[in-house]
Amino acid sequence: MYRQVSQDTESTPRPGDDDMFNDHTSIEKQKYHHGWTKKRIAKYVSAAFVSILALYVAFTLIVVQPGSYFNKTDKLNSGRREAVRNAMKYAWDGYRQYAFDSDELLPLSGGGSNEWGGWKLTLLDSLDTLYIMELHDEFDEAKKQVADIDFTKSQSGPYTSFFEMTIRAVAGLLSAYEMSGDKLLLEKAQSVADVLFTAFDPKTQLPHRFFDVNNRVVNPSSPATIADAGSCILEYAKLSQFTGNSTYFEKAKYVYDYIINAKTTIPGLYPSKLNASTGALYGPISFGAYADSFYEYMVKYYLLNDRKDDQYVAAYNRSIESMKTHMVGQSKVDSSLSYVGAMYYNDNSGQYVLDGEYQHLTCFVPGMLALGHKTLNRPQDLELAKKLMKTCYTMYSSTRTGLAAESIWFAPVSENKTAKAIAEEYALSLNDYDAKHGFFRFYNSYVLRPEVVESLMLLYRITGDPIYQEWGWNIFSAIEEYTKTSIGYATYKDVMDKNAAKNWVDQMSSFFLAETLKYLYLLFSPNDVISLDEYVFNTEAHPFRIIK
């Protein structure tokens, strides 16, 4: 439907098109042979010239400049890129029209929600996407709105998230500042950061998960996680670079070092929960929710500093080696499907046990491994990345809508234990079992998440294999077909049900604009648009220029 294949190369004149080579009948041939005139000779000479010219052009296109041969691919990609840009414009216009003063658009009822403090979160998260997609009028208008945001007050009570505001608000402002050079954006980034540092526990110097902006006190009731606390070093390194004030970086580095140097049972694998009051780490080990970007930033920090500061590279190597040894499993039915599960501590055996749940969130791992390979030359990691990527794509391609479930669980089926028996044992519905691939779908909703297209973009740029573009296009097409409402894009309740309107949920998360659409756009853009050699993406897809 969206394919826009160029006809240009097909319409190039070919030798057979010229009457000189037309072998209609032998009589005609005869006639030509005996009827040569000067005029005719001139015609044939010019026809021959045209043919030779055509051959020459074709030769230059195909052999001398192989890049041009891919004109077709370029056209296809630019059509796809344009379709993604239109989706961004659509989502943005909906937000702008119905929810410009709010954090997020309600894409069904046409209002706004302020669950993130009322800081116009979608706007902050979208600035650099608008800029990259060259939606300049939209960017300029949005930028002006930033002046009015009051980061000293919150509409969401004691639940402002240090992590989400760091990766979305601070990073969004910093990256938009770096692209546009508008000082106001930097001042605002600094003012959010100054408020966010309220989250730090005065005793441990570790950030709590939530804090109360209005009363400037921490909310100690929810444990922090290693992702919450340990994914801010890129953002605050950048803020310190721009402001010349090293405090931001030092505070972030203290937290990162604290976690990385913690004593662990398995080298390089960390429990995902963190009690910020005591500094205790506990709970399951995972590369998904609560842990993900803590690992992601180890190699990204090295890249951000132009490969000059390798203090977290050994930690990265250690974590990845242990992950490969302990946390990678395989479908019992289709051995081409690998996953990274989570590990739970078993009190009886005194050991960690691998569980086969693979979350959509964990699908950032193939991209991380590919980037780790590009940076540190770890070819085996790239092979694993390709396998994990296939599983992540299968999460989409195996459903009726082509959208992925939030999570899948690779069932321990065996010759002695059927899927039916497992379904009964764990109170699961056999309807959610995918017999061909050997997993149960867990939580059938698709919330417009980015991790799979993020990894597709990184794998495409690093391997050059166009299959990743095809997969990304299929995912985008499903998003267009099923989640697009008359106002924006909606979270989808059941990816196995094709009745779209029945499945829409009134929510369009800001990361859809910040990440999902940005990574799709870059997947179909030339590699020098936000080149991986010049930029590092924070975990919300905000690109930071490498610090030289």
- Binding positions are 539
Q: Is 85 or 378 the residue whose CB approaches ligand NAG more closely?
A: 378
Q: Which helix (H) or strand (E) holds 282?
A: strand 281-285
Beta-carbon-side half-sphere exposure of residue 269 (alpha carbons within 13 Å):
24
Please confirm, yes or no, whether 451 is among the known catalytic residues. yes
**Residue 406 annotated among the catalytic residues of the structure:** yes
Query: Do the beta carbons of residue 378 and residue 320 sit within 8 Å?
Result: yes
Task: Rank residues 130 and 192 by Cβ distance to ligand NAG and give the closer one.
Answer: 192
In degrees and rounded to multiples of 5, residue 112 shows phi and psi of -125, 160
Which segments of 28-110 are extended strands (E)? 104-106
Token pair for 540 = 């919300």
Burial group, residue 520, by CB count within 10 angstroms (0-12, 13-18, 19+): buried
Which residue numbers belong to the known binding site for Ca(2+)?
Answer: 539
Nearest CA to 439 out of 529, 360, 537, 518 is that of: 360
Q: Is the Cβ of residue 155 or residue 219 nearer to ligand NAG in the bound state? A: 219
How far CA 273 is from CA of 219, 230, 327, 344, in Å, comes to 16, 11, 18, 12
Cα gap 536→542, rounded to integer Å = 8
296 part of the active site: no
Residues 132 and 178: beta-carbon distance below 8 Å: no
Residue 30 CA to residue 423 CA, distance in Å, equals 82
Rank residues 414 and 499 by Cβ distance to ligand NAG and give the closer one: 414
Would you call 3 exposed, middle or buried from its count of C-beta atoms within 10 A (0-12, 13-18, 19+)? exposed
Smallest gap from Cβ 212 to ligand NAG, in A, equals 15
Closest CA to 279 of 345, 341, 205: 205
Nearer to ligand NAG, 95 or 302 (CB): 302
Nearer to ligand NAG, 72 or 324 (CB): 324
- Please say which residue, 186 or 530, places its beta carbon nearer to ligand NAG: 186
Q: How far is the CB of 274 from ligand NAG (least distance, A)?
A: 9
Question: Is residue 365 within 8 Å of 435, Cβ to Cβ?
Answer: no
Burial (Cβ within 10 Å: 0-12, 13-18, ≥19) of residue 159: middle
The gap from C-alpha 444 to its chain's centroid, in whole angstroms, comes to: 20
Binding site for ligand NAG (CB under 6 A): 194, 220, 222-223, 245, 247, 275, 277-278, 310, 313-314, 317, 376-378, 414-416
What is the maximum span of the chain, computed from C-alpha positions, in angstroms?
105
One-character DSSP codes across 37-59: -HHHHHHHHHHHHHHHHHHHHHH
> Which is it for strands 351-355 and 328-330: parallel, antiparallel or unpaired?
unpaired
Nearest approach, Cβ of residue 236 and ligand NAG (Å): 10
188: amino acid identity, one letter: K
* Structural tokens at position 202: 């005065």
Least distance (Å) between residue 268 CB and ligand NAG: 11
Least separation, in Å, of the C-beta of 377 and ligand NAG? 6
Query: Do 419 and 412 touch, CB atoms closer than 8 A?
Result: no
Residue with token string 């662990």: 264
Query: Token pair 């992540």 is at which residue?
Result: 392
Q: How far is the CB of 441 from ligand NAG (least distance, A)?
A: 24
Catalytic residue among 128, 292, 357, 454: 292
Grouping H, G, I as helix, E, B as strand and the rest as coil, residue 331 is: coil
C-beta of residue 437 within 8 angstroms of C-beta of residue 415: no
- CB nearer to ligand NAG: pick between 108 and 382: 382
Task: Note if 292 is an active site residue.
Answer: yes
Helix (H, G, I), strand (E, B) or coil at 274: strand
To ligand NAG, the closest distance from the beta carbon of 171 in angstroms equals 17
Distance (Å, rounded) from C-alpha 450 to C-alpha 519? 8
Catalytic residue among 182, 357, 451, 494: 451
Nearest approach in angstroms of CB 207 to ligand NAG is: 13
Provide the token pair at 48: 């021959």
Nearer to ligand NAG by Cβ, of 314 and 430: the residue is 314
Residue 187 CB, nearest distance to ligand NAG (Å)? 12
Q: Catalytic: which of 125, 128, 164, 540? A: 164
Active site residues: 164, 292, 406, 451
